Chains A and B, each alone.
Chain A
Amino acid sequence: MQRPINPEWPLRQADELAGRDATTRGQPRNANLRRSVSAAYYALFHFIIGCAAEKLLPSCTHELRYRMTRHYQHNAVKQVCTWVLPQNQPAQRVREAILRIRESDDLIDVADAFIQLQEARHEADYDHLADFTRPGSLALIDMAYDARNKLSIQEELPKGELFLAHVSMASRLQP
């Protein structure tokens, strides 16, 4: 049986690993905290590209849409998110559209959350010196939840559609 990646599942896993409901003293294992941050990032990545693929292929089967999501690239999503942040200069050809997207505080939050979580995931997986605590890891997981909630609302609105269209177009088809 094929079971697609439901972004809710890695989010729940992240909560469990970071000890969201734990009542014991101390903190979870360091490896669990690191994995929780990684899971939160992948949950948000899959949620964003899932929304983008749905907008791109509204009438296709789930299977075709899932196949299409394999073409989305992490750095391409990050590129769009970086443009959306207010301190950056978007490239000339996307400038007008990006300025429209920036009118939504929620979409800026989504873009910032993606950027923060991607970097945190990298540190969680590779950086021995990075410090992961229970409150800090849960704050990152909450960032993923918050971004998911905001994009769920925004994806139905023109600025959200614009954001997702850029996410789709920033990635290249991989033959």
Chain B
Amino acid sequence: MYSRLVVVIMDDSIGAVSLADRVRGRTFGFTRVADVTASIDRDSEDTIAVFLDITLDDPDGATWPTEDIVELRRFLLRGAAELELELTVYLRLSPHTDSPQDDELVAQ
């Protein structure tokens, strides 16, 4: 049982890294994926899942175009199916450049 779990996690780790490799550097509409980090962790329901921390080039406006993000998500869902990833894939989107938040500006 335990060894099967290890094999599943190892297979999915390889799949998660492959998924990250597929998307890194790719452009969706006007939005380029600058970097991706893949990790396997437990989600809020204590289920093992893939987490992709995706750094995107800074948006022109307040955020990235919705269509670009939809395209990115569909690409990842297709990729996960092709790679036979059995785990849920969660995305965390961040801009390339971080800037201070209001409370931090007050603290300075």
Task: Please list the residues of chain A having a beta carbon within 8 angstroms of any beta carbon in chain B.
Answer: 19-20, 22, 25-33, 75, 78, 82, 85-88, 105, 108-109, 112, 115-116, 118-120, 122-123, 126, 130-131, 133-136, 138-140, 142-143, 145-146
Q: A142 to B101, Cβ gap below 8 A?
A: no
Interface residues of B in 74-108 (CB under 8 A from A): 74, 77-78, 80-81, 84-86, 88-95, 98-103, 105
Interface residues of B in 17-50 (CB under 8 A from A): 43-45
Task: Please list the residues of chain B having a beta carbon within 8 angstroms of any beta carbon in chain A.
Answer: 43-45, 56, 58-59, 62-64, 66, 69-70, 73-74, 77-78, 80-81, 84-86, 88-95, 98-103, 105
Total number of residue pairs linking A and B with CB closer than 8 Å:
101
Q: Collect the chain A residues with CB atoms within 8 Å of residue B59's CB.
A: 135
Q: Interface on chain B toward A: helix, strand, loop, or mixed SS?
A: mixed
Q: A118 to B44, Cβ gap below 8 A?
A: yes
Q: Collect the chain B residues with CB atoms within 8 Å of residue A31's CB.
A: 103
Q: Collect the chain A residues with CB atoms within 8 Å of residue B100's CB.
A: 26-27
